[in-house]
Structure 1
Amino acid sequence: MFRVPLIVAIALIIAFGGGILSALSMLNASVGFGAIEVAGWRAFPAAQTAAADPYAKAHRAKGGRLLYGSAEGLQFTAFRDAEGLTLTGTCSYRMSGRTPTTRLWTLYAADADGMRLNAGADLPAATNSQTVLRRRDGSFDIVISRTAKSGNWLAIPDTGAFQLVLTLLDTPAAASTGLSGLSMPVIEQIGCGQ
């Protein structure tokens, strides 16, 4: 007597539970489709537009984040150094080179969920194009480390894996025609356990 309703209830629980879990896993997996990768830096230029795929729109809504429009800017993230090793708080890194043409850029370290890391009070947790020291040719070096370094230094806590977030504001790289031939800074490991 209760056998058929019990089978229907179990089937509905499995269907709804599986659907919800698969949707949540897809939202946590990626910002969407159409990623570009330049020298280890990854960006999703279509995620900010009205023509973004449904997963990108849902990811944006779930995270409650304001993304830049295609004419405003572009956000790049790097999880690995030039050798392909995961960035970790127990190692020190040097980010060197130039950024693509932009009016302003910002750089900070974030955890895997994109939340900004804070190494402690009065330590430089972020930097930007207005405060970074440059060479005569316009290139720069930024040391990313948990211990203080001379010159441009970005402090990170002694944590596990992290990512670097480089935001380019008012840049031609945000337009679809500006994506070819971008020159991005290189991230090199300079030591671990120091």
Structure 2
Amino acid sequence: MRLILMTLLALALATAVGLGATWLTSTRGVDLATLKIGAWAARPRVGSSDIDPYARATIARSGELPVGTGDGISFIARTDDDNRPLDGRCDVVVSGVTPAARFWTLTLYDTKGHLIANSLGRYGFTSQEIVRGSDGSFEVRIASRARTGNWLPTGGLDRYQLVLRLFDTPVGVATRTQRDAPMPAIATQGCP
């Protein structure tokens, strides 16, 4: 009788650990084959047939449609370059240049992947509409109150994430360093 109880307890524990690990990897993901450049992270194989099972589970759970490997790549930033979480109550500046791409978008999302509601209906910028400096660099200010230039409103949200999608770009699986793909810097400047 004791053997049966111990076996059932072991099976229950194994089931709980297995389901817990599955839930964690499908909701938070894992860092398998992740490309990190500064605060930006991408998983270049997500849009290919070489996708790992954890990324496949994450996509199945979220329902998102990944950018195909031949079409481009998506980078996500949840922190600034000093590893501080992106805070909607602070002023955050995204500046510099992007890797070579025919077209790109920079979009602001909440932590669940939803667009942040705002009265302007401004959720991001594209490479065609952003105001640039004479050297081709740009500066986007992300803040709760209006700013001059390229501004994205946060609505005072506590945490958010930035997604930079590069379309028709050489950046991908073989990219390893900032020199291969010059990513924009992310700096927190003003915080209450």
TM-score, normalized by the shorter chain, greater than 0.5: yes
- The alignment's TM-score, normalised by the length of structure 1, stands at 0.88
Q: Deviations over 1:164-192 (max 9, x none)?
A: 11111111113x34555210111112211
Aligned length: 190
**Quick check: 1:143–1:153 contact (8 Å CA) kept in 2?**
yes
SS at structure 2 position matched to 1:59:
helix
Q: 1:152 corresponds to which residue?
A: 150
Q: Which moved more, 1:35-44 or 1:20-29?
A: 20-29
Aligned partners of 1:72, 1:178: CA distance in 2, in Å? 16
Aligned partners of 1:99, 1:155: CA distance in 2, in Å? 21
- The alignment's TM-score, normalised by the length of structure 2, stands at 0.88
Asked whether 1:131 is paired with 2:129, we answer yes
Aligned partners of 1:177, 1:90: CA distance in 2, in Å? 37
The unaligned stretches of length 5 or more in structure 2 are: none
Aligned partners of 2:113, 2:74: CA distance in 1, in Å? 11
Map 1:13-162 to 2 at 5 A: 13-30=12-29, 33-118=32-117, 120-162=118-160
Aligned partners of 1:83, 1:57: CA distance in 2, in Å? 30
**Quick check: 1:32–1:53 contact (8 Å CA) kept in 2?**
no
Q: 1:167 corresponds to which residue?
A: 165
Compute the displacement of 1:6 (Å). Answer: 6.0
- Cα distance, 1:153–1:106 mapped onto 2, change above 3 Å: same
Aligned partners of 2:191, 2:121: CA distance in 1, in Å? 20
Q: 2:191 corresponds to which residue?
A: 192
Compute the displacement of 1:4 (Å). Answer: 7.1
The unaligned stretches of length 5 or more in structure 1 are: none
CA RMSD, Structure 1 to Structure 2 (Å): 2.0
Aligned partners of 2:189, 2:31: CA distance in 1, in Å? 33
Task: Report the AA paired with residue 154 of structure 1.
Answer: L
